[in-house]
Structure 1
Amino acid sequence: MAMAYGPDTRDREHRGAGTGFGAKAPVTRFLPAPLRAPLEGRTWRELLYTLLSFPLSTVMFCFSITMVSMSAGLLVTFIGIPVLAVGLAFCRGFGVLERHRARALLGVEVDDPERVRGKTGGAMSWMGSILKSGVSWRHLLYTLLHFPWSTFTFVVAITVWSTGLTALTYPLWFWLFPLFGGQGGIQLYGDETHREYLDTPFELAVAGGIGLVLVMAAPWIVRGLLVVDRLMVTGLLGPSTLATRVSELESDRGVVVDTAAADLRRIERDLHDGAQARLVALAMDLGLAKEKLTDDPEAAARMVDEAHSEVKVALQELRDLARGIHPAVLTDRGLDAALSSISSRCTVPVQVSVDLDTRPAQAIEGIAYFTVSELLQNISKHSRATRATVDVWRAADRLMLQVTDNGRGGASPESGGGLAGLAERLDAVDGVLVVDSPAGGPTTVTAELPWRG
């Protein structure tokens, strides 16, 4: 989601990317876009893509039609099936070429679909896999649909560019006609008694003006036509939506597993280095006190008193650890009370506003709590802020969290660290983390989670 959220808690207006610390400065352009387009490398790459599409699509269209027709005619025998499988395999190979061509000339990033693998590794298994693959049939459909469209775009591009360049440069080579052609210029009309040529200064100027307009319009015409090519490449030659979603879920599952393992290691480390160490020391002190109980009751009493203090510290550490796993106040009283509790422990004053009619699912509520907790810890450690706000509200089927501070800014999840890990955790549950933190502040971090009530 490419949205940025302003400092106001209800401001969802798009503020544009690149405002954070380390963003690239905008490039200064001296010419407006209409005048700059014919000179840009992108324009000539798109024209090259259009010119190459016609011969490539013609070859693949003829090949696909031939293979499909041949396989249909041979279906009465077994030969038709392998012929169709080979044809589909060649279509997939053509798709590889088209994806590379789209990346290089159009800048379209399309992931490669899954490769066809037979379950048993034999020829029959491979044929069955390629015939059952929806990707193979989408590649075949691409070869059939792309041919008429590439023919149309080729004709339009050649016509517009050749006409525009001819008319634009006509005043420069007008002298060639009477000198070498024996006529007075480009002939507009002619019969046995009368002929009209473009030969007056006014007509030359009009022709050049028309050519200039066509040359400036040609890149945009071709670019508009190539929108269809981009849609066909991404829609027919890329992985299916289901395969993409499965890949995302596998990645998210890995993030969840790694996060759970990291949390378990943290809990084990906190228990080992904190409460467990104190309880071991407490047991040793109580053992010594027991030995001194008859010989030196006063020393034993002092040791018991010290042990009592250690018990209180150990209990507090265990409470903090339990609160870090899942706070009881969140379970009992919800986000409003839980966020107010962690805000009171922040080193800067925090204003909390929770506008929820009902409570979301416990898992989402827990993620929201720990998200705000980590963001407030970042404010305490790194922001140098003097105040902060926490706002929580529901927007349709999404739970929105926004944490703002007036610190030094410059925070970015792209630099790694806590924000990057937090973004991965939210992404694992179809959530989004948006950071708006220009150098000098203020910093606004917005988290969006599914409601799942």
Structure 2
Amino acid sequence: MSTAVASLRPTLVQSWLRGWRHIAFLVLNLLTGTLAVGIAVGVLVGSVLVVVAGAGLLLLVPALWLGWWFAKEELARIEAFTGRRITLQPASHSKGWMVALGFTRTHWRAAAYAALHVLWGLFSGVLVSGALSGGLAVLAMPLYLDRMPAEGTLRLFSLFSLDSTQSRVTIWILALAVLAILPLAARHLTWVDATIARLTLGEDPDAEIAQLSERVEALTTSRTETVDSVESERRRIERDLHDGPQQRLVAIAMDLGMARERLAHDPEGARELLDKAHLASKEAIVEMRHVARGITPPILADRGLDAAVSALAVRSPVPVTVEAGEVGRLDPTTEAIGYYCVSELLTNVAKHSQARQATVRLDLHQHLTPPALVIQVEDDGVGGADPRGGTGLVGLRQRVSSVDGTIAVRSPTGGPTAVLIHLPARPATTPEQPTSTERPTTTGQPTTTGQPTTTEQPTPEEMR
């Protein structure tokens, strides 16, 4: 393992070769430092003129925007030459007019970066350019030294004598050492550029740590709630199966056994037991369908969320209008949670709202980041929905938060009630071919329903 890790580390030669990119970056600091001088002077003079006469806005606003553009380009240059990526702090929590004038915190921080870059950029650019040009000039000295005038004493930079061969060789070796060390030293100098940019332009490290800590805490809570929700659902299904269909199936088995024993000597009694078992079997079918409520139905896997929601609306005792946009097929998890949310909300409408009608809207908003499935359920009931009142909203919040979704409930006393759900939408990995025989729903057209007419009711063969 240690050998594999060591093989990933760059060798000294690779580091030296990559260091020339850092040298190029530092040489370009001469150009960017000169541009930063103009930006810093523009911001300074504009700020003074604003305080004195108010006319400085004509200079200050362009200077701030130019500083913001300069900062963005500098971050791109740092990443391109050094590989250090720094994210520009967004201009959030600012009013529109402040953003338009460039008076946000991000623009002022960009101006501060330009002022610092004037000092460090010009200093590092001059230092590295001088060392590079001087070293190359000395290395090339054997090519032109004999052509220089012989009068007087030859001196390099007015400091080093070049009269003797020994001094020339010494200076040449020193220049070679400078050029050998310069790429390695340049990596440390560009670290200063990156640090200045990170401190002035990048995200606040403390804020990032706080945000990540909050995110970890939210994910931990969401995971716990999701596990509790799944376990609660499992216990509900187990309890319902034990209390309902299982007891009826035991009774049916007993009736059939007694009917078989009576069939020879008491046909009439056997017929009554068979009729009783037949009726109990139909009731067991109905109970099984009630137990399966909330479990993903076949129509959801076959036809998608809009068709499954239309089926829910058909079964609702309250007339429901479904307005489905271009939702298409999504990943199974998103579709299952969306189906459960609509099912639970329509159940709440029927049980608690005293509403005369309800509306379900489905749409896929691609302009959001990330794209989100938006579900909106409204009713004209009495309102007053409270997540602490046992209306099922707690379970909805747990399921929605498990996939980083959001839910907002607006239900004043007296109504109406509106629930808005955002679920991060991921496209389906493989397209599903429709095989369901349920009634199709025209996408984008409202469908008003109120009577149970879906094929999820017991079929004639089951009812015979």
TM-score computed with the length of structure 1 as normaliser: 0.48
RCO comparison, higher one (Cα < 8 Å, 6+): 1
Larger Rg: 2
TM-score computed with the length of structure 2 as normaliser: 0.47
